[in-house]
């Protein structure tokens, strides 16, 4: 297999998590009687351009570009993040009624509605039917297509190049990052700006976040890798911000290579930090697997110890992160009898790979366990606050990443 960006043969494994089903393939009762298909979940690092990437699997585009409608507007902190960004960027770029904003992977319109309210013309691109329909219902123009070079050229030919192109949590999730980046170049007006938000590889490495690895997440990006990928399309970095969202993300600002705006000091600073932290050194990447293994083994030892002591355990949060961790550790219902989740669409189903049943949060009150393993560690404080009254009854909370911790 060759690097998806620079075509260099991939010789170095960054992380091997064995085999796993797609992380969003929740199982019904009927599915339990059928065979389940798993795929290798293995990341390579390119020693030429430093792009960390998933191993190619057969028909990845069809398998892992799920039609699972994940409505972004259900999280209040995420809505606030979107509103703050919209106000900041409109002011910084001087957007007005003559501008055009394009958002790739516009979801249910939770972000673009801020531009609609401000009277700034916009266009969302969203292939998933359910979310695209929800966005249209709010009066947001939506194209139900996948974004890439072809669509971008069509938009340019129609005179619909953008002053601002937004890509939030999509850049790391596209199989062909070169084609996507070429599309950004083609759809961007002269003097326009692209902003991309994606999880930062440096944060993943320093915080042992191996559970953020899943098949649909094709690329694990450092600023160095992104700089190269953009440069190959005649784009360059203008600015970068580090964000606490989603457990350590970057917001990268890109412009045409011939744009007169000079790059901010933040770009050089972060590139230097990445170099100091070893992101241009193969040894850094090769040191990661043992750290993931230690977390997995610590969790297994803990679960076994609790079970031997006769203490009952349940988990909270049936999300992708939890599935990666549970499947890599080989945990089944004998060690973790159930997981609670507030999403009604998941209740009554089973986690892929582990077949652990998903129950409503009320199960924690009806049959209180002694320990609750919170799988989405990034919202652990929020979950603890929701379950505060149970903690008063002696229930303990545990998180496994970035290290095993009993709260």
Binding site for Zn ion (CB under 5 A): 3, 5-6, 8, 46, 48-49, 51
Provide, rounded to whole angstroms, the least separation between the CB of residue 5 and Zn ion: 5
Nearest distance in Å: CB 228, Zn ion? 8
Distance CA 126, CA 111 (A): 13
First-to-last alpha carbon distance for the chain, in angstroms, is 43
Which residues neighbour 29 within 8 Å (Cβ) at sequence distance 6 or greater?
Answer: 348, 350
Pairing mode, strands 162-168 and 101-104: parallel
Q: How far is the CB of 52 from Zn ion (least distance, A)?
A: 10
Instruction: Please say which residue, 55 or 75, places its beta carbon nearer to Zn ion.
Output: 55
What three-state secondary structure class fits 84? helix
Nearest to Zn ion of 5, 346 (CB atom): 5
Question: Rounded to whole angstroms, how far apart are CA atoms 52 and 225?
Answer: 9
Cis peptide before 188 (omega within 30 of 0): no
Question: How far, in Å, CA of 66 to CA of 83, rounded?
Answer: 27
Q: How many CA atoms lie within 13 A of 274 on its CB side?
A: 25
CB nearer Zn ion, residue 43 or residue 390? 43
Q: How distant, in Å, are the alpha carbons of 7, 199, 328 from that of 203?
A: 26, 8, 21
> In the complex with Zn ion, which residue's Cβ is closer, 25 or 235?
235
Which residue lies nearer to Zn ion by CB, 20 or 46? 46
In DSSP terms, which residues pair with 147 in a beta bridge?
none
CB of 46 to Zn ion, least distance (A): 3
Min CB(7)–Zn ion separation in Å: 7
| Alpha carbons 315 and 322: distance in angstroms, whole number | 9
Burial of 60 (0-12, 13-18, 19+ CB in 10 A): middle
Cβ-based nearer residue to Zn ion, 13 or 391: 13
CB of 48 to Zn ion, least distance (A): 5
- Using the minimum distance from each CB to Zn ion, give the nearer residue, 3 or 135: 3
Count of helix runs (H) and strand runs (E) in the chain: 15, 17
Closest separation in Å from C-beta 125 to Zn ion: 27
| Cβ 99 to Zn ion shortest distance, Å | 35
The whole-angstrom separation of Cα 92 and Cα 324 is 39
Q: Are 181 and 196 in contact (CB under 8 A)?
A: no
Q: How far is the CB of 284 from Zn ion (least distance, A)?
A: 16
Per-residue burial over 92-110, b if 16 or more Cβ lie within 10 Å, else e, is ebebeeebbbbbbbbbbbb
Nearest to 103 by CA among 82, 126, 79: 126
């Amino acid at each position: 297999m060759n690097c998806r960006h620079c075509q260099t043969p991939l010789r170095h494994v960054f992380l091997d998590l064995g085999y796993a089903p797609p992380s969003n393939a929740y199982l019904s009762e009927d599915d339990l009687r059928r065979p389940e298909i798993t795929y290798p979940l293995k990341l390579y690092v390119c020693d030429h351009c430093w792009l960390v990437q998933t191993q190619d699997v057969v028909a990845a585009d069809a398998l892992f570009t799920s039609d699972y409608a994940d409505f972004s507007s259900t999280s209040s902190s995420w809505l606030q993040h979107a509103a703050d960004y919209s106000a900041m960027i409109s002011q910084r770029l001087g957007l007005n009624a003559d501008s055009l904003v394009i958002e790739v992977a516009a979801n249910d319109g939770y972000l673009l509605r801020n531009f609609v309210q401000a009277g700034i013309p916009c266009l969302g691109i969203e292939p998933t039917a359910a979310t695209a329909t929800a966005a249209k219902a709010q009066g947001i123009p939506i194209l139900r297509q996948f974004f890439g070079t072809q669509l971008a050229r069509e938009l340019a030919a129609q005179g619909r190049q953008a002053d601002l192109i937004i890509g939030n949590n999509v850049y790391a999730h596209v199989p062909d990052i070169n084609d996507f980046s070429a599309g950004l170049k083609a759809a961007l007006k002269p003097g326009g700006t692209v902003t991309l938000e994606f999880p930062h590889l440096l944060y993943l490495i320093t915080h042992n976040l191996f559970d953020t690895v899943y098949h649909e997440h094709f690329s694990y990006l450092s600023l160095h890798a992104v700089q190269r990928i953009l440069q190959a399309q005649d784009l360059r970095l203008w600015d970068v911000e580090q964000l606490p969202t989603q457990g350590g993300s970057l917001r990268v600002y890109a412009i045409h290579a011939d744009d007169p705006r000079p790059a901010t000091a933040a770009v050089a600073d972060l590139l230097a930090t990445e170099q100091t932290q070893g992101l241009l050194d193969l040894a850094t990447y090769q040191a990661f697997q043992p750290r993931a293994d230690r977390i997995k083994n610590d969790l297994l030892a803990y679960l076994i110890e609790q079970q031997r002591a006769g203490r009952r355990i349940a988990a909270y949060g049936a999300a992708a992160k939890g599935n990666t961790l549970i499947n890599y550790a080989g945990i089944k219902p004998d060690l973790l009898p159930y997981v609670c989740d507030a999403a009604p669409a998941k209740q009554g189903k089973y986690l892929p790979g582990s077949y652990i049943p998903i129950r409503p949060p009320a199960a924690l009150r009806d049959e209180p366990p002694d320990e609750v393993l919170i799988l989405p560690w990034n919202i652990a404080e929020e979950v603890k606050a929701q379950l505060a009254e149970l903690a008063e009854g002696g229930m303990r909370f545990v998180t496994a990443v970035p290290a095993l911790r009993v709260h």
